[in-house]
Each structure stands twice: as structure tokens, then as C-alpha cells.
Structure 1
Amino acid sequence: MVSDIEIGRAKRARRAYTFDDIAIVPSRRTRDPQDVSVSWTIDAFTFEMPVLAAPMDSVVSPETAIAIGRLGGLGVLDLEGVWTRYDDPEPVLAEIRALPQAETTRRLQEIYAEPIKPELVTQRLAEIRAAGVPVAGALSPQRTAELSDTVVGAGVDLFVIRGTTVSAEHVSKTTEPLNLKKFIYELDVPVIVGGASTYTAALHLMRTGAAGVLVGFGGGAASTTRTSLGIHAPMASAVADVAGARRDYLDESGGRYVHVIADGGLGTSGDVVKAISMGADAVMLGSILARAEEAPGAGWHWGAEAHHEELPRGHRVEVGTVAPLERVLFGPSSAADGRTNVIGALRRSMATTGYSDLKEFQRVEVVVAPYTRS
């Protein structure tokens, strides 16, 4: 039963929790980590690990999308990033990494003002497809209608529509909003859409026919959404709320299962574990993968919010480089800070609490036990 907190006589609020506020409780049974399955399936695709690489220029290039695909995950390419604006994005990435802090936002706005070239969208996706791994590309809701035919024509396997907050009921007096239900119905590929951070918003997105819903609000390591807009949705509560919408939509639809993908607030392996425990089927990782040696950001991390032409809501942040991509995901780890061997940590947590697969692990017992990271 949820009880509101009185902030003042005119306003009440619900208490919500971040991943730092909760902890997982061991049960009476344990398992060997090698006996645990961390695979998951969405539509016709089965992946060996529940990891999607976030569509951010500092995280995913065609090369890293291929590498992540070969490791058993899914790399999602930002189809509004430097890869589709510049024939050779490497000098641009090098410039971004070297920018003085005071000039970063203005220069990012200039760099990302370069028009998107549809032929580069086709070319970049073709590079990934040629490697024989699943192909995924992401567009914002504002660009989806304009470029969707190009993306589908290029042979994408999974289409991601990703924004800070995506609504199934966008209202505008000046532009024709994207009709998500009509768009998804007419599309020949499964669609993952988000972010959503409340039960109601997620339920509406599920009713559009989406195969998956991203849970988040633009609140990752490089975001200043809370500072700029005052918007923040603590991720533990957000994932649990959207998982509740999935459960109710399963009954409402007569058995249609929509996958819940946590997208934000995932800085360590422990956060990944807790996202699954709250009901996520998979996680979309940004800063964790930006620390890999192969990441295009080379130790720097930024998202689309950092170069918004009117109201930037993010920074370029230095996350450092810790290990090759395979070690970030599968270890071995040489540090005890949760930044490497992410999948190994998930396996061990599941084994320690006695669960054999991700669906079972969603039922693990948790407690509210806030702590402050050092």
C-alpha cells in the first residue's frame, strides 16, 4: 500500500526509490554461477546477455555495435549522430574529446547541426549487417517519420525510438505528432520505444504495439535533466512501476508480453542487478560501456541532450577507460568497484540468491536500505 508524504498543505508526493536505495536479499537456496542463464528473447531474437548498448556517439560506432553483437548483446546505433552526418566521423570525435570545457556545448551544437545524410544511414547499417549480427538503429520521435523508410529499407532488425520522455499522446499546435500506434502497426520490424517512467505512460506505449519499452528519463551520467528541467524519476521505482504496467497489459491484451528495458541510472554492475530485480528484462547501458577501450568516446561520454539546439540538458563528462569491452562485460575484473565483469556480477548475484534465469530473478526479495556511494 502506497502512502503519500505531505510536502506542504497544498502538495503531497509519493516516496520513490533509486537503485542506491534498495538491496537484494539472499534466499535459502544458492547455485553455481555457471548454471545460471542470463539470456533473453525479444520478438524473434535471442541474446546471450540482457545488454543493449545505448545509442550514443560516445558508446556505439558500427565497429562497437558489431563487437557487442558478437559478444551476445545488441549495439544500437544513433542514426542522428556523427556516423550519419559525416563521411569520416573520426576527426569530429577527436575534436569533441579535446574540446575545452567552456567551449563544449556551443561546439557540440555546431557539430550536430550538420544535416543527416540518408545514404550514410544506409551505409552504416549495412556495415553492421555485413558482420552477421543483429542490426538496431535509433531515432528520436521528431526524426522517425522522416527517416523510417530509409532505416527499414536498410534492413534493420530492431527499430528503437528513443527520447528523454516519449509519449503516446503528444499534443502540438504547430506540428503533426508521430502517431505511434499507426506507425508501429504499419512497420515490418519490432519497435522498442521510450523513455517512460510511470505506470500510465508505459501502459499507453504498450498499447501502441511496441515490442519493448525503455524505462528512463534522460537521467544518465551525462544528463542534467534534473538541474535544467526539474524532472527526475528514481529508477528503482520507475522500473517497478513499468513492470506493473507490463503485468496488467499482459492480462488486458490476452497474453501479449512487452519487454521492459531499464535505460538510465546504471553506473555499476550492482545497478544492473537491481534493475533486473525490479522487473527489467534487459538493460540499456551508456556510461558502463563508454569506459571500454573500444568506445568511440575514448574515455569521454555525452548524449543527444548535450547538443540540443535550444535547451542543452547534458554535459560531455570524463568517465575514463578501464578495460577492453569483453572484460567490461565478462571480466576478469582487477578492481572491486563494479565497473568491470558486469555480466559475471549478474550471474553471481543470481546464483547467490538461488535463481536460475532472469524471469525467476525478477521475483527476488528486496529491501529498502539506502546508502551513499563513496
Structure 2
Amino acid sequence: MNEIEIGRGKRGTRAYSLDDIAIVPSRRTRDPQDVSVSWQIDAFQFGAPIIGAPMDSVMSPRTAIMLGQLGGLGVLNLEGLWTRYEDPEPVLAEIASLEAETSGNFNPAVTQRLQELYAAPIQPELITARLAEVRESGVVVAGSLTPQRTQEHYKTVVDAGVDLFVIRGTTVSAEHVSQNQEPLNLKQFIYELDVPVIVGGVAGYTPALHLMRTGAAGVLVGFGGAATGANRQATGIHVPMATAISDVAAARRDYIEESGGRYVHVIADGGMGYGGSVVKAFAMGADAVMLGTALARAEEAPGRGWHWGLEATHPDMPRGDRVHVGSVGPLQEILYGPSHHTNGTSNLVGALRRSMATTGYSDLKEFQRVEVIVSPYQAR
């Protein structure tokens, strides 16, 4: 019913971003302290449904441990600087010091330097060492590889004792076709693996349903790195997050019936730099959110106020930029407050609690049923 005529030869579906919708209070209210924001995937329980995106500007072993101790889940980028350099701190400092254009953050010289720095080979022993460091802290251990690198490094990751395995790419399908190399058979891979797998991104009903049929424990919705990505400009590919989450949540609903009750978690990934967007992701049907920009603003973030993803470092087709996000405060404050900002950059969990309480819902599964309206946001 949202299909419109673009021209005589093409029709398309109208889609909505998280900024285009708003939550409607329509029932009783609750005390925010009576609201539960806990989340469980497989055997792992978390106090908050917050996942740190596997991006070098967001998650280091130290910040992954901190996030885990604060009730969330930190995911290490196992193709990043922490597995390419014994000591990545000088490299991170150099990236933060690279000059930006006066008109913005986008400088070809910065992209070229990122490509050079990420050309260093991945060292399997460093994958083992970084994951071991997180494991020693007692928090849940999670690491991420792209589909292209999974077959090369997954045994090292599993042998290191990872609890959750994340396969994250710009767009991931269950039916990748290649005439040049043997593609990763996701269904066989997940079946043979002894740990739960989260896989994505995906932004539509049908590809999400196919990924759920592979046996994945969770599906990432979106293309990741929204604040740093230039995928729409470079390739023309983009789906607004509100519609994407809703479509994938519908696939989850139908897969439950198809599979006889198997539940696959929907994890929104990208486009949620502020508390209001995080809240609306759950309203559209997400079980958890994977945050990049919001956590890159933490004082402890390895990016030192800058933010970038693997898309920005691709040797042939970079589809992202290093962007300046600044620093808001400690990670604890960004998640739980107390906030000193009115723009939704801190106390993200508190914002979720308050919205759930204001609309009368006691847990996240109930909150997915909250009423929403289409109300495009106007900047004040």
C-alpha cells in the first residue's frame, strides 16, 4: 500500500527513516524503575540491549570489557588495527591527528592513509591475544569478521574461546554467488559451529528470512556505520532504518511460525546516534541495537573523538569516511547518565526506560507493540 509511481516505467515502495516516525503514548504510564531493559540471546543474559559496533573507533579490548561490565556486549573488530599491530595506539593517534578539510571531514589524503594503515596483515596470534584479554575479565566475548575473511580466520576465533561470533558486512546474503572463489556456505557454517552466530547486514523481508533459515541466532538490520558510510553516494544502495527494521521484524514473526517456534533476534545496526533513534528502533521491532557513533563519543573510545569503519579502508572501493563526533563524557554517563545534554547523546538506557514507562510497557518485547505515527522530524 506504500507503493508509488516513480515514473511510467518504475514503481517503488515508500520507506521511512527513524527520524520520520514518533512514538505515541496511548495507555497507562509506569515508574521507570519498574521497567526491564534486559536482553537475552542464546544462553547469554545482558542488563541492557546495547551492543558496541565492531569498529576500531568504538571498540578496543578495554572498551569491550567496560561495556560488558556495564551490562552490554562489546564486539571486537577482528580485522582491525588491534589484530594488525602489536601496539595500535600510535596508529590510532595518527588517524586522529590527520587533517580534515576545512569544509568537512572528507579528505582523499585521509582515505589513502587509512588504506595504507589497514594494508598491514592480520596476525592470527593477535586475534587470540585480544580475545583472551576480554575473556580474562569475565565478560561475554564476541568478535566480528566480514564474510570475505570468515573462512580464513574463524578457526582461530573459535579456538580462542569466543562466546558469540558475528559475521558483519555491508550487505550479507544467504545465497552469495561467485565464479571466482568458493563462497561461504552460511547454513553449513553455522550448523557446524559450536557457538551462536549473529549475521548481517540485511534490510529487507526476503533476505532476512533467508538468513534466519541458516540457523543464525540474530540478524543485523542495516548496513552498519551509517554515520561514517557513503554507501548511498558510492553505490546507490540504501534502505531507511524504520522500514528496514519493520520488514525484518515481520520476517522474524513469519519464521517463528515456519520453524515451529524458533526465535531469531533482530538487531538494529546503524543510524542511531541519539537516544530517540535508539528508542524508536525498539518500537519498530528490534530486540537489541548495535551502536557506533553513540559510543564513539565516549571519553574512553579509541577513536579519540573520530569515528570510522572498515568501509572507509577498503583498498579498491572505499565507501566511508572518518568523521568527527567529538566527546560527550564517560561511557558510564553515555549509557546510564546522569546526562548533562539535552540532545540525546547521553543516558541512552535511561531514555529507553523513560519512553517505555511513559507508554506503559514493562519490557522490551511488550514495547515492540507501541503505537507509532509518521511524523517527519523538523530540526529546531
Report the residue type matching 1:104 in the other structure.
V
Deviating beyond 4 angstroms after TM superposition, the runs of 4 or more aligned structure 1 residues are none
CA distance in 2, matches of 1:25, 1:317: 33
Which residue does 2:189 correspond to in 1?
A: 183
The percent of aligned pairs where both chains have the same amino acid is 72
CA distance in structure 2 between the partners assigned to 1:302 and 1:124 by the alignment: 20
* In 2, Cα distance between equivalents of 1:288 and 1:53: 9
Contact map agreement 1:218 1:225 (CA 8 A) in 2: no
Separation in structure 2 between the aligned mates of residue 372 and residue 177 of structure 1, nearest angstrom: 45
1:283 maps to 2:289: yes
Counterpart code for 1:301: H
Residue 115 of structure 1: CA displacement? Answer: 0.3
Name the structure 1 match of 2:79. Answer: 80
Structure 1 residues 328, 313: closer, same or farther in 2, change over 3 A? same
Cα distance, 1:363 vs. partner? 0.2
Q: 1:217 Cα deviation (Å)?
A: 1.7
Q: Which residue of 1 aligns with 2:158?
A: 152
Give the Cα separation in 1 of the matches to 2:376 and 2:143: 36
319, 328, 335: which one pairs with 1:329?
335
Q: CA separation in 2, counterparts of 1:268 and 1:63?
A: 23
Determine the C-alpha separation between the residues in 1 that align with 2:206 and 2:65: 35
Query: Within 1, Cα distance between the matches of 2:226 and 2:360?
Result: 30
* Contact in 2 for aligned 1:105/1:306 (Cα 8 Å): yes
Give the distance between the partners of 1:357 and 1:27, measured in 2 at CA.
Answer: 16
Residues 312 and 319 in structure 2, CA contact (< 8 A), matched pair in contact too = yes
Structure 1 contact 219–225 (Cα < 8 Å) conserved: no
Give the Å deviation of 1:233: 0.5
Task: Please give the TM-score of this superposition, normalised by the length of structure 2.
Answer: 0.97
- Count of paired positions: 373
How far residue 373 of structure 1 moved from its aligned partner, in angstroms, is: 3.1
Taking the aligned partners of 2:31 and 2:367, their CA distance within structure 1 comes to 15
Is 1:303 matched up with 2:340?
Answer: no
Q: Contact (CA 8 Å) 2:55, 2:80: kept in 1 or not?
A: yes
Q: Paired residue for 1:208?
A: 214
Contact 2:225 2:309 in 1 (8 A): no
Say which of 123, 127, 141 aligns to 1:121. Answer: 127
Q: Helix, strand or coil for the counterpart of 1:232?
A: coil
* Secondary structure in structure 1 of the residue aligned to 2:220: strand
CA distance in 1 between counterparts of 2:169 and 2:37 reads 27
Match of 1:63 in 2: 62
d(CA) in 1 for partners of 2:161, 2:238: 36
Corresponding residue for 2:117?
111
Q: Secondary structure at the match of 1:244?
A: helix
CA separation in 2, counterparts of 1:215 and 1:324? 27
Q: Which residue of 2 aligns with 1:95?
A: 94
Q: Please, which runs of 5 or more residues in structure 2 have no aligned partner?
A: 101-106
Instruction: Report if aligned partners of 1:59, 1:295 keep a CA contact under 8 Å in 2.
Output: yes
1:192-341 aligned within 5 A: 192-218=198-224, 220-341=226-347
Deviation at 1:100, TM superposition (A): 2.0
Contact 1:219/1:226, CA 8 A, preserved across alignment: no
Q: 2:187 aligns to what SS in structure 1?
A: helix
Is 1:261–1:282's contact at 8 Å kept on the other side of the alignment? yes
**Alpha carbons 2:287, 2:364 under 8 Å: kept:** yes
Is this contact kept in 2: 1:219–1:232, CA < 8 A? no
Q: Secondary structure at the match of 1:323?
A: coil
- 8 Å contact kept, 1:85–1:115: yes
Counterpart Cα distance in 1 of 2:86 and 2:344: 37
What residue identity is the alignment partner of 1:258?
Answer: V
The whole-number CA distance in structure 2 between the counterparts of 1:218 and 1:225 is 10
Letter in 2 for 1:232: H
Work out whether residues 225 and 292 of structure 2, in 8 Å CA contact, stay in contact via their aligned partners in 1. Answer: no
Q: Is the 8 A contact 1:165 1:218 kept in 2?
A: no
Amino acid at match of 2:82: W
SS of residue paired to 2:267: strand
Aligned equivalents of 1:151, 1:372: Cα separation in 2: 45
CA contact (8 A) 1:23 1:368 kept: yes
Distance 2:223 2:152 in 1: 24
SS at match of 2:278: helix
Residue type at the aligned position of 1:274:
K
- Say whether residues 1:41 and 2:47 are aligned partners: no
> Any conservation in 1 of the 2:21–2:372 contact (CA below 8 Å)?
yes
Structure 1 unmatched ranges of 5 or more? none
Q: CA deviation at 1:219?
A: 5.3
What SS class does the counterpart of residue 185 from structure 1 fall into?
A: helix
TM-score normalised by length of structure 1: 0.99
What SS does structure 2 have at the residue aligned with 1:142?
A: helix
- Aligned-partner residue type, residue 92 of structure 1: V
Say what the alpha-carbon RMSD is for the aligned residues.
Answer: 0.7
Can you list the C-alpha shifts for 1:258-288, whole angstroms capped at 9, x where unaligned? 0000001101000000000000000000000
Please give the residue correspondences for 1:329-368 in structure 2 after superposition, counting only pairs within 5 Å.
Answer: 329-368=335-374
